[in-house]
């Protein structure tokens, strides 16, 4: 991460909101809060956090100038903080000498006149192309894009010096057209649409009030200048790419197929038996001459691999190529992204046709470890090509394609692996079968595949719902304790009502959670949970009467329910919990979620018990695929699989309720959280 002036300002503004006095960077408490903000709220790597702390606490004399990561810095006499991000030593020297004022070259007017220090620094950072969003955008801009942004800066200066509203409005209308500007409803984001897709956030993301482009958005709104909202949702470029990359295989073998029956007859899937589980009991795969599913793996591995890249059976990559070609025309998407797809498809075709030469000088055989390594390298090369051409599109597509990457790698290795064809299959993207010496299926792993990471200790990909994870518990009594729709009948607080109301059930849940030591008063916590449950019952009755409440209706009580949960949560944290122990046992981020209210607290305790009584839901393994960049800027594609853990601290937790998405307690396993 480049520690620009804009980043520093954002960090200090957040700190200012958390302290009651003037910021004092010699105060250990202020420094501790600063470190927490950077690590857990802004997801800074540890190295960048330490660099930022060093920078903010370094001692400099007025008039000093020095070299930094982002250019040059200087401390001007009479100012409390240094200015960073200046382009060269001479500029820094002029700044500390008081000669740095920006002048509009044509009008001779001082553009920065009337700006406060934050605004002036943000302006100079943007003007010098050293703001965070600007430096992120530059690698994706061609010469035409750079020239257009040079023009934008000149037009921005003109706008900032204009005083006549009619003149401003005409100028802004010209800017909206020339640069393809679009603005979200709140005005916090302003996009440049006529440059490369991955550079469109160059003006700021989001745009802080000190950013000079903030005034552009505000003036557009004040003067009634027509401007489009950015293309988001189903019509947005990222969503189009996401939709195109969803795995869509053709042949489906249903639950009357002998192999399907064998796979789903294993004990790990006894919760999917009966009429309700029928929708899950179906698999993609190769058909034999009778139309039944062939077992994958072993001698059938090559046939399965060919099947997975055949456009008639798996049109996914065809769909991706076509969509990317369209986005090149409509959104200036870098053609490198589509070329990466074409190159990958050719490599996979060559492997299945025996055209790839191995280390022994002969064609690589499928199945083999060398074939599996080749498949992984091909997918890695494509993913890195995505990232080089368009990181935004890499994230949009690889979240879906990651499961195909892992499926094909294991096919090439010779494993017996299947893709479920149900679009709502709980918590598993592929199934890995283990057989004994006589060929009998004896064990199966449901593999949850995630791409992308939101931070070192955060979630991988799309987190899963605890209500779905619990279905893999070996004991049926533990498969319905959590709801994916908190507030629905029988789950007023997100867990089964009996757990809240029945003292024995509550004590049992608490003991199984292994978290009794974070609660200094057990009855206090139960009372707070009952208070919220009773409040929810009243809210639902007041809005819905005695009728059954369904998921999409709960948003009608969202505001009132969240307000009640927060109010009770504040008292719960003060009266019932050992907050230091809670931070230690769950990690600061999960502990913060726990303290939000009794709804989150009871769900976390219940899920912890689910993990501890199932050895971490060992039937599910967790495959993680990420694009990593080291301190020297080298980029690599990482792929690893973890077995999960019964320790709740190793699961990143979040919570959604009372809206169309809901989900309840959502989770993502991340073994790096052991370090917290």
Residues 242-271 as b/e (b if ≥16 CB within 10 A, e otherwise) read bebbebebebebebebebbeebbebebbeb
Distance CA 290, CA 218 (A): 67
Distance CA 188, CA 555 (A): 25
Nearest in space to 219 (alpha carbons), one of 160, 278, 273: 160
- Please report, for the chain, the start and end positions of each structural domain, with discontinuous segments joined by +: 1-58, 238-449, 464-675
Please give the share of the chain, as a percent, with pLDDT higher than 70: 88
Mean pLDDT along residues 582-591: 94
pLDDT in the model for residue 73: 74
Weakest mean pLDDT among 120-134, 411-425, 437-451: 437-451
Question: Two tokens at 21?
Answer: 């006095």
CA geometry: angle at 598 spanning 557 and 565, to 5°? Answer: 35
Three-state secondary-structure class, residue 190: strand
Please give the share of the chain, as a percent, with pLDDT higher than 90: 55
Mean pLDDT along residues 388-403: 88
Output phi, psi for 612, to 5 deg: -70, -30
pLDDT in the model for residue 324: 96
Weakest mean pLDDT among 77-91, 217-231, 385-399, 601-615: 77-91
Weakest mean pLDDT among 319-323, 356-360, 616-620, 647-651: 616-620
Please state, rounded to an integer, the average pLDDT across all residues of the chain.
Answer: 87
Residue 101 has pLDDT above 50, yes or no: no
Compute the Cα dihedral for 59, 62, 64, 66 and give only its sign. positive
pLDDT in the model for residue 18: 77
Distance CA 373, CA 664 (A): 38
pLDDT in the model for residue 503: 97
pTM (two decimals): 0.71
pLDDT tens string 481-509: 999 999 999 999 999 999 999 999 999 99
Decide if 577 contacts 568 (C-beta within 8 A).
Answer: no
Intra-chain end-to-end CA distance of the chain, in Å: 21
C-alpha distances in angstroms, 172 versus 162, 218, 223, 475? Answer: 11, 11, 9, 65
pLDDT tens string 437-464: 777 766 677 777 777 765 666 666 667 8
CA geometry: angle at 102 spanning 101 and 105, to 5°? Answer: 135
Residue 576 has pLDDT above 90, yes or no: yes
Nearest in space to 513 (alpha carbons), one of 622, 586, 588, 593: 586
Pairing of strands 65-68, 283-284: unpaired
């Amino acid at each position: 991460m480049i520690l620009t002036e804009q980043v520093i300002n954002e960090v200090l503004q957040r700190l200012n909101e958390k302290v009651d006095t003037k910021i004092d960077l010699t105060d250990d408490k202020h420094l501790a809060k600063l470190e927490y903000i950077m690590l857990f709220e802004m997801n800074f790597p540890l190295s960048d956090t330490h660099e930022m702390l060093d920078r903010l606490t370094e001692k400099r004399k007025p008039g000093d100038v020095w070299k930094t990561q982002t250019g040059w810095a200087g401390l001007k006499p009479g100012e409390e903080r240094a200015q960073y991000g200046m382009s060269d030593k001479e500029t820094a020297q002029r700044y500390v000498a008081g000669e740095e004022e920006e002048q509009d070259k044509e009008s001779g007017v001082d553009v920065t006149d009337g700006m406060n220090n934050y605004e002036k620094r943000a302006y100079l950072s943007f003007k010098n192309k050293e703001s965070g969003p600007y430096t992120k955008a530059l690698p994706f801009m061609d010469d035409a894009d750079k020239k257009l942004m040079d023009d934008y800066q000149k037009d921005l200066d003109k706008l900032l010096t204009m005083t006549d509203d009619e003149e401003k409005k005409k100028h802004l209308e010209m800017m909206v057209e020339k640069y393809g500007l679009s603005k979200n409803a709140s005005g916090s984001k302003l996009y440049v649409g006529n440059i490369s897709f991955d550079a469109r956030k160059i003006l700021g993301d989001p745009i802080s009030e000190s950013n000079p482009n903030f005034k552009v958005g505000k003036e557009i709104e004040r003067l009634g200048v027509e401007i489009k909202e950015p293309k988001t949702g189903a019509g947005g470029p990222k969503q189009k790419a996401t939709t195109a990359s969803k795995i869509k295989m053709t042949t489906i073998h249903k639950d009357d197929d002998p192999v399907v029956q064998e796979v789903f007859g294993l004990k790990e899937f006894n919760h999917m038996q009966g009429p309700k589980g029928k929708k899950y009991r179906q698999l993609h795969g190769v058909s034999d001459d009778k139309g039944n599913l062939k077992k994958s793996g072993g001698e059938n591995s090559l046939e399965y691999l060919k099947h997975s890249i055949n456009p008639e059976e798996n049109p996914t990559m065809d769909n991706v190529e076509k969509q990317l070609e369209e986005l090149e025309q409509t959104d200036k998407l870098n053609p490198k992204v589509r070329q990466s797809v074409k190159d990958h498809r050719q490599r996979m075709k060559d492997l299945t046709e025996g055209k790839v030469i191995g280390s022994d000088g002969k064609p690589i055989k499928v199945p083999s470890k060398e074939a599996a390594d080749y498949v992984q390298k091909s997918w890695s090369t494509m993913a890195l090509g995505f990232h080089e051409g368009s990181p935004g599109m890499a994230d949009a597509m690889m979240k879906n394609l990651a499961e195909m990457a892992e499926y094909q790698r294991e096919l090439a290795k010779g494993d017996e692996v299947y893709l479920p064809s149900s679009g709502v299959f709980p918590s598993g993207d592929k199934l890995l079968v283990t057989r004994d010496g006589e060929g009998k299926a004896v064990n199966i792993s449901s593999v949850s595949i995630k791409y992308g990471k939101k931070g070192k200790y955060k979630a991988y990909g799309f987190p899963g719902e605890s209500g779905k994870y619990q279905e893999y518990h070996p004991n049926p009594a533990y498969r319905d304790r959590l709801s994916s729709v908190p507030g629905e009948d029988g789950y007023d607080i997100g867990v089964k009502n009996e757990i809240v109301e029945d003292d024995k059930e509550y004590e049992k849940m608490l003991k199984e959670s292994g978290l009794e030591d974070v609660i200094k008063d057990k009855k206090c916590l139960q009372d707070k949970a009952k208070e919220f449950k009773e409040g929810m019952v009243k809210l639902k009755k007041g809005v819905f009467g005695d009728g059954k409440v369904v998921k999409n209706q709960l948003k009608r009580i969202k505001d009132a329910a969240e307000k009640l949960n927060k109010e009770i949560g504040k008292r719960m944290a003060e009266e019932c919990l050992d907050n230091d122990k809670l931070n230690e046992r769950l990690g600061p981020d999960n502990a913060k979620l726990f303290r939000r209210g009794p709804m989150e607290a009871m769900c976390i305790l219940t899920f912890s018990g689910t993990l501890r009584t199932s050895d971490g839901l060992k039937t599910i393994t967790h495959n993680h695929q990420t694009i990593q960049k080291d301190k020297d800027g080298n980029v690599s594609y990482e792929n690893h699989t973890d077995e999960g853990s019964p320790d709740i601290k190793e699961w990143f937790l979040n919570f959604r309720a009372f809206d169309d998405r809901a989900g309840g307690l959502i989770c993502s396993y991340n073994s790096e959280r052991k370090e917290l």
